[in-house]
Amino acid sequence: MSHKFVKRLFDSSPWPWQEPNIKQNGVVFSYVLGILALLWFLSFFINKSKNGQPPLPPGPKALPFLGNLHSLDPELHTWFASLSQTYGPICRLWLGKKVGVIITSPALAREVLKDQDTIFANRDVPAACRESSYGGKDIVWTPYGPKWRMLRKVCVREMLSGSTLDSVYALRKRELRQSINYFYNQAGLPVNVGEQMFLTALNVITSMLWGGTVKGEERISLGAEFRHVVTDMTELLCTPNISDFYPGLARFDLQGVTKKMNVLAKRFDKIFDSMIDQRQKMNRNAETGTNVGQESKDFLQVLLKLNDKADSKMPLTMTELKALLMDMVVGGTDTTSNAVEFAMAEIMNKPVVLRKLQQELDTVVGKDNIVEESHIQQLPYLYSVMKEVLRIHPILPLLVPHCPSETCTVGGYTVPKGSRVFVNVWAIQRDPSIWKNPTEFHPERFLDNKWDYSGNDFNYFPFGSGRRICAGIVMAERMFMYSLASLIHSFNWTLPKGGALDLTEKFGIVLKKKMPLVVIPTPRLSNPTLYE
């Protein structure tokens, strides 16, 4: 375990000492390493000698210069959970020169996300994220303050409110029906559920962003390009990066992570510029009376109107506009498709759950009808399944790490300003002292409606809590429920002959299944026309 992370760190790097002159450079590197180790020791003891402050949280012994980087396991969520078993609900790691703090209890999560929410409402922005978000100008990475509040307001009120989502329901329905039709045409053949649901989520998001702008073959090719870029970006965001652990080395970009992300971000930027240009032309044509009747409701239209408000006290700049588009595309695709894939796997692993779901859907929707979003409120067992999936497989297992704007005390220990704070929601939601049989998939535990996504109960908060709680909860809930209901209602699902069901997780910023879910759909509705 101890060498996996470091191997990955070095294997991903175009290090100069991997060249033929390795011997000479190796001497130089050893010399530099020795100086850095000395400096690290000095700074460590100077900081340790400060009086009047509680100590840092307990944690494993750290090496000079590397800290605990040599010990990190790629499956961070489970490794962090194991550390909490040894060192307690708050523990410390040295990530190079940075302090990492792991929170693994509801009480301490409350301290961080509620009691001291303002202090912890900032982010320690990784180099790759800064590059992919137009310099950290999106809602995820912008520092807490007036600008962030403006962006949050734009997202929650203008783009992701219930009424706005209602207005673009036809777009979601069209995309999901196309996916159901795809599965119908593949009846009896193995299909990759996660891959298809990724494309569904992607097409839904892009349709909602600029629904009336891209059509036909152009839309198909754009979807394929987006999937490729999003996949590459997600992989890059998970790559251990020297620049994040030793900020002084960031300008050298030793592994080329920033350079690679810049190339991917430019591909997005080119697409965004094209969409914005087309939308602005459509707007000008509408103003002059041409193309009347082609006005479409989409998020890009909303954002451009906000961008045009010259008298606004805090205008939405074009850079911030594109950063929000990036958030929607990257943040709304992997998350939804992975959650649906986990749900399908858990349901297939528990045939009794599948039967209950289909009985509920047959009662509310009927086999001679298709699922509509209007049915969702009448499906309490489906809601319980969603909540249980997000308990046992939270899509952001460590949330997005928080960063205190000042040195403070949590659980009786000092948490230094600028440290990276991980709230292990994955471990909290599997804590046997809170949950009965925590590793068992048991949707019935949520039938009493005790739990919600408000973030007020720190035993269950899959979307986070406090000021930085996920802005897209309403959208995520609708997409998950509508997609899963349609899949379960429209088909019976079986494993291919000799296939095995695997529920193993793979850690990343977004949690995913280690092995793709490949299953065979069999139509179960009364009339083939229901699949058109």
The count of domains in the chain is 1
pLDDT at residue 289 in the model:
65
Query: What tokens appear for 106 in the block?
Result: 């509801």
* Beta carbons of 81 and 424 less than 8 angstroms apart: yes
Q: What's 368's domain CATH number? A: 1.10.630.10
pLDDT at residue 273 in the model:
94
CA distances from 530 to 294, 358, 371, 489, 518 (A): 29, 17, 10, 11, 24
pLDDT average per 10 residues of sequence, the chain (532 residues): 54 43 49 56 50 91 94 94 98 95 98 98 95 94 95 89 89 92 96 92 86 65 76 85 92 95 93 90 74 61 81 83 92 93 97 97 98 97 98 96 97 97 98 97 94 94 96 94 98 92 92 95 96 94
Half-sphere exposure of residue 179: CA atoms within 13 angstroms, side-chain side: 25
Please check whether residue 59 lies inside any domain of the structure: no
Please check whether residue 174 lies inside any domain of the structure: yes
Q: Which residue has the tokens 């978000």?
A: 133
pLDDT at residue 508 in the model:
87
pLDDT at residue 46 in the model:
46
* Beta carbons of 168 and 479 less than 8 angstroms apart: no
The domain in which residue 472 lies consists of: 146-531
The residue among 342, 397, 21 whose CA lies nearest residue 194 is: 342
pLDDT at residue 315 in the model:
84
Please check whether residue 274 lies inside any domain of the structure: yes
Half-sphere exposure of residue 389: CA atoms within 13 angstroms, side-chain side: 32
Please check whether residue 99 lies inside any domain of the structure: no
How far is 218 from 215, CA to CA, in rounded Å? 6
